[in-house]
Amino acid sequence: MQPVSPNAKRYDGTTILLHWVTAFLVIEQWLGAQIIDWFPSGPLRIDARSAHISLGVLLAVLLIGRVLWRSSRGRRLPLADSGFLGLVAKATHWGLYGLLAAMVLVGLALTWTRGDSLFNLVRIPAFDPGNHALADQIQEVHATIGWIILALAGIHAAAALFHHFVWRDGVLARMLARG
Ligand code: HEM
Ligand code: HEM
């Protein structure tokens, strides 16, 4: 195990901001989706679902921005571990990017398949009106990917906290504005 030097540089501000806004939105999207059905069927439920869809689109834009930033001017730091654990960390990060992209695409497909109303202002026409079975299947895939993201992000966060509190290296600090 090769701990990162405590003097290791931080990620740049844009990368840090995009990381934490993405993390916040993922948790918010998951929790927000759980309460949609708490609202009575009608305008309030439409608003709750519209908020989920709109913030989902924001997440999609941020994800594209993050990938573009990472592949151009964003700072990339060497892995904390050059061996097997480093490979696991890399696979986790790419897994999270891939799952987030899948989540956004399936969410958009779900919106289009169901057909919807955005805040009772904009009508999204249904791709195949009345085909509830298809919408249900896509919703199940959406919910399943959500659970997988939650589990992987939980392992990822636990690893970051383990680095910080047990190995006491600078890995968490490099993703913090001040550390
Ligand atoms: C990481 C981002 C996201 C997470 C964690 C998330 C999570 C969820 C969850 C857990 C559900 C409930 C599924 C169920 O139990 O049946 C749901 C429903 C839904 N999601 Fe997402 N979602 C995300 C992004 C998106 C995006 C980008 C869109 C579309 C632009 C979207 C559109 C929808 C729609 C239309 C529903 C159905 C809501 C309803 O049942 O009334 N989601 N989402
Ligand atoms: C849903 C929540 C989260 C998602 C989707 C997520 C996603 C990611 C991704 C994709 C990376 C790789 C960055 C890159 O190299 O491009 C990363 C890095 C990182 N994340 Fe998260 N993250 C989440 C939550 C957290 C939490 C809660 C913590 C801390 C407790 C954390 C700490 C870190 C750290 C320290 C790094 C940098 C690792 C390194 O430099 O080797 N993340 N995250």
Query: Cβ–Cβ contacts within 10 Å for residue 27, how many?
Result: 13
Q: How far is the CA of 50 from the centre of ligand 2 (A)?
A: 28
CATH of the domain at 39: 1.20.950
- Cα separation, 111 vs 70, in Å, equals 29
Confidence tier at 72 by pLDDT (50, 70, 90)? very high
Atom 5 of ligand 2 has which residue's CA nearest to it?
23
Q: Is residue 2 part of a domain?
A: no
- Cα separation, 39 vs 42, in Å, equals 8
Q: Is residue 45 part of a domain?
A: yes
Residues 127 and 113: beta-carbon distance below 8 Å: yes
Report how far apart, in Å, the C-alpha atoms of 53 and of each of 1, 7, 108, 172 are. Answer: 43, 41, 8, 31
> Residue 8: pLDDT above 70?
no
Q: Is residue 7 part of a domain?
A: no
DSSP-derived letter for residue 116 is: E
- Residues lining ligand 2, CB < 6 A? 19, 22-23, 26, 70, 77, 79-80, 89, 93, 96-97, 153, 156-157, 160-161, 171-172, 174-175
Q: Tell me the whole-structure pTM to 2 decimals.
A: 0.93
Structural domain including 75 reads 13-175
How many domains is the chain built from? 1
Identity at 62, one-letter amino acid code = L
Q: Is residue 131 part of a domain?
A: yes
Phi, psi of 35 (to 5 degrees): -100, 0
Confidence tier at 3 by pLDDT (50, 70, 90)? very low
Alpha-carbon torsion (147, 29, 66, 57), positive or negative: positive
Q: How far is the CA of 114 from the centre of ligand 2 (A)?
A: 33
Q: Is residue 46 part of a domain?
A: yes
- Cα separation, 25 vs 19, in Å, equals 10
